[in-house]
Amino acid sequence: MPAVSLIIPCYNEADNLPLLVDRCADVFAGRDDVEVILVDNGSTDRSADLLPGLIAPYAFLRSVRVQVNEGYGHGILTGLRAAKGKVLAWTHADLQTDPGDLLRGLDLIHASSDPERQFVKGRRFGRPASDVVFTVGMAAFETALLRVPMWDINAQPTMFPKSFFDTWADPPKDFSLDLFAYYSAVKAGLKISRFPVYFGKRAHGISRWNVNWQAKAKFIRRTYDYSLKMHAERVR
């Protein structure tokens, strides 16, 4: 059984997949303590044709197919449910974050006196100033609303014990999954650990939400609605 399962949701990332697989091979090939699950999250490009051949040479790699895209979070949840590791994690497919960051997060968990109570996230640097401003604003809003300190909510990787995942009830299927996991960990009393990760440019393609301020406004609206739902449950 692998020590850790890394879930990478991939939606129309055909151009990035060869680079992603090569990078995963660079850092994970030959290890029997890591499995990487590439979730084809309802892609409509060449991903389904490419994935079998790309992952075939590597025992640590496997893929899961979502027939119809139901959101970023749904893809991750599909991978988490298929995972075999004692520690679960997710990150991006576009190589803005390095899959190898997983090992640094795993070191933090292994160094803990109580690995079953750890929740680990990256803390991004190297981003454009406008994105940092957006992140600060979102963190300030969530901290004030939910009355717990929250920072860089969408940073990756996100890592936690499978036993924590088994307690989740009705997690969201969209980008709010990052917020849900982080807030749930704080509420459950898990120790939150952060470590710096470089956040670069996409290798290929464009972001699904961070395209312009109109797209960001849509993201903000969805997050705001879900945050109010969590706030209502907190005060109930």
What confidence tens digit (pLDDT) does each residue in 183-234 have? 999 999 999 999 999 999 887 776 665 556 676 677 777 887 888 887 777 6
Q: Which residue ranges make up each domain of the chain?
A: 4-235
Contact 216, 27 (CB under 8 A): no
Tens-place pLDDT, residues 46-82: 999 999 999 999 999 999 999 999 999 999 999 999 9
> So what's the pLDDT on residue 202?
83
CATH topology of domain 4-235: Spore Coat Polysaccharide Biosynthesis Protein SpsA; Chain A (3.90.550)
Contact 73, 181 (CB under 8 A): no
